[in-house]
């Protein structure tokens, strides 16, 4: 195998390359819109000259960008960021995103609001500290390390749109992302108690990888959460993982399947049927195509940017103070948990409202 200056790889081999090309095409299909365009085959005795010409031309190419900076730096950076985050207002780092039930012909009904770390905000802070290529493992570590602060903030920080204050009418349930340890913590048990008193339903979202790392601990956490009246959601199921596992056996109340453009072609009908469409929420449904595919599969629960826009459109059409507001502004303000992100809205009650 010969690496070229521009990052291309040339494999020299004897015999037919068709099986290898077919394998590569299958692998590339995951991320590349046109996998065939990534491969070229030359037969040396026939068009070897063309290969030599191509390779020679690559010598003049600019070298590929340098790899990510030394990982050790990232570790120091991550620690510094964690300290920075621990000293800052959580509402500035968090977002809330609404999940909806979409019944054809019956419109949208909000199901719950998920409080999440804004990856954008955290990544921006990492970039400020020179850590733009932070290791995803470190991001997960950081989020786990900060979950205690999230729970605390929900209890005390009015900046989270005061979710625990007694509110009018039928309020949306609130979902948090927790590790198994966080879900079993005393701090969360206190929060769950407070939420019950305030008449607010809670849900806990556990990352699929955490559940698979210790299925027995997941089952214990699931049973304890259910007994406390908290919904249990399995988060982060990709189509690739669905193809090789049976997450239905984990027995969560809801499974969040991540939308991906390759999903419709992934041949997962049987796997989806096992999950039961009424227990599936199509996550990262950022486009109309995603929602349309979900509906065609019998999925009725959705979350993502396209849903945010649909909700914003509904609000704008009924808002008495919405003159001059754009769809994007309304959608972004609804995502914000702190007052800064919501500034400019003259009808915050509708922004927080439970009905559209």
Partner 1 sequence: MTGLEALTALVCGCASGDVNRRVLLLRADRLPPALARPHHMRLARAALDPLLRTNRALLYDLPDHRVAVSWRGPAGDAVEAARNALAHLLAGAPPGTPEPDSLLMLFALPQDGPALLKAAGVETVAPAPAPAPVKARPLDAAMLASMEAQLAGADVARFARRKPVCEWRGDAMATAWEKRFLCIDELAATLAPGCDPRAEPWLFRRLTRTLDLRMLSLLAAPGELRGAGPFSLNLNVASILAPEFMRLDAALPVALRGQVVLDVHPGDVLADPASFAFARGFVRGRGYRVLLRGVTAALLPLLDLDRLAPDLVQLRWCPKLGQLDAVPWASGRTVLSRADAPDALQWGLARGIRMFHGRAARLAA
- Count the residues in the chain: 356
Other beta carbons within 10 Å of 213: 12
Applying CB under 8 A, among 48, 130, 158, 215 the residue interacting with partner 1 is: 215
Beta bridge partners of 251: none
Tokens representing residue 22 in the block: 């077919």
289 in contact with partner 1 (CB under 8 A): no
Stretch that binds partner 1, among 123-131, 148-156, 204-212, 312-320 (CB under 8 A): 204-212
Our finding on whether 163 is near partner 1 (CB under 8 A) is no
Nearest-angstrom CA–CA distance, 322 and 105: 26
- Subset of 64-103 contacting partner 1 (CB under 8 A): 71-72, 75-76, 78-79, 82
* Contact yes or no for 187/148 (Cβ under 8 A): yes
Q: Among 209, 273, 289, 292, which residue sits at the site for partner 1 (rule: CB under 8 A)? A: 209
CB of 159 to partner 1, least distance (A): 27
Round to whole Å and give the CA distance between 127 and 77.
Answer: 10
Q: Check if the beta carbon of residue 232 is closer than 8 Å to that of residue 261.
A: no
- Using CB under 8 A as the binding rule, whether residue 39 contacts partner 1 is answered as no
User: Tokens at residue 239, please?
Assistant: 């189509």
107 lies in the site for partner 1, by CB under 8 A: no
d(CA 332, CA 78): 27
> How far out from the chain centre does Cα 299 lie?
18
Query: What's the closest the beta carbon of residue 276 comes to partner 1, in angstroms?
Result: 16
- Among candidate residues 123, 126, 179, the one with its CA nearest the CA of residue 151: 179
What single-letter DSSP state applies at residue 355? Answer: -
Three-state DSSP class for 108?
A: strand
- Residue 208 lies near partner 1 (rule: CB under 8 A): yes
| Cβ at position 182, least distance to partner 1 in Å | 13
Q: Determine if 247 is a binding residue for partner 1 (CB under 8 A).
A: yes
Looking at beta carbons only, is 30 or 224 nearer to partner 1? 30
Under the binding rule (CB under 8 A), the answer on residue 141 touching partner 1 is yes
286 binding partner 1? (CB under 8 A): no
Q: Which residues bind partner 1 (CB under 8 A)?
A: 23, 27, 30-31, 71-72, 75-76, 78-79, 82, 135, 137-138, 140-141, 144-145, 208-209, 212-216, 219, 238, 240-241, 243-247, 249-250
């Amino acid at each position: 195998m010969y690496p070229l200056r521009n990052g291309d790889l040339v494999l020299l081999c004897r015999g037919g390359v068709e099986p290898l090309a077919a394998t590569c095409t299958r692998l590339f299909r995951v991320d590349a819109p046109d996998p065939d365009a990534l491969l070229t085959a030359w037969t040396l005795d026939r068009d070897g000259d063309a290969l030599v010409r191509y390779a020679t031309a690559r010598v003049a190419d600019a070298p590929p960008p340098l790899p990510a900076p030394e990982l050790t730096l990232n570790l120091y950076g991550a620690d510094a960021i964690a300290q920075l985050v621990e000293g800052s207002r959580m509402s500035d780092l968090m977002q809330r995103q609404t999940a909806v039930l979409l019944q054809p012909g019956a419109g949208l009904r909000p199901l719950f609001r998920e409080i999440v770390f804004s990856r954008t905000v955290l990544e921006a802070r990492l970039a400020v500290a020179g850590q733009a290529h932070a290791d995803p493992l470190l991001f997960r570590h950081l989020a786990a390390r900060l979950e205690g602060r999230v729970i605390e903030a929900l209890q005390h920080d009015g900046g989270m749109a005061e979710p625990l204050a007694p509110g009018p009418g039928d309020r949306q349930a609130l979902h948090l992302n927790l590790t198994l340890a966080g879900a079993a913590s005393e701090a969360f048990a206190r929060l769950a108690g407070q939420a019950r008193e305030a008449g607010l339903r809670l849900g806990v979202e556990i990352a699929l990888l955490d559940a698979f790392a210790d299925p027995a601990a997941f089952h214990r956490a699931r049973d304890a959460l259910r007994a406390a009246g908290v919904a249990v959601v399995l988060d982060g199921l990709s189509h690739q993982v669905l193809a090789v596992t049976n997450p239905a056996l984990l027995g969560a109340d809801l499974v969040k399947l991540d939308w991906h453009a390759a999903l419709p072609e992934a041949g997962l009908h049987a796997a989806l049927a096992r999950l039961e469409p009424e227990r599936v929420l199509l996550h990262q449904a950022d486009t109309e195509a995603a929602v349309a595919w979900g509906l065609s599969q019998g999925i009725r629960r959705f979350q993502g940017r396209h849903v945010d826009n649909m909700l914003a459109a509904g609000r704008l059409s009924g808002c008495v103070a919405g003159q001059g507001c754009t769809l994007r502004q309304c959608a972004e303000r609804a995502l914000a948990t702190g007052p800064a992100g919501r500034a400019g809205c003259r009808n915050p009650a509708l922004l927080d409202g439970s009905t559209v």
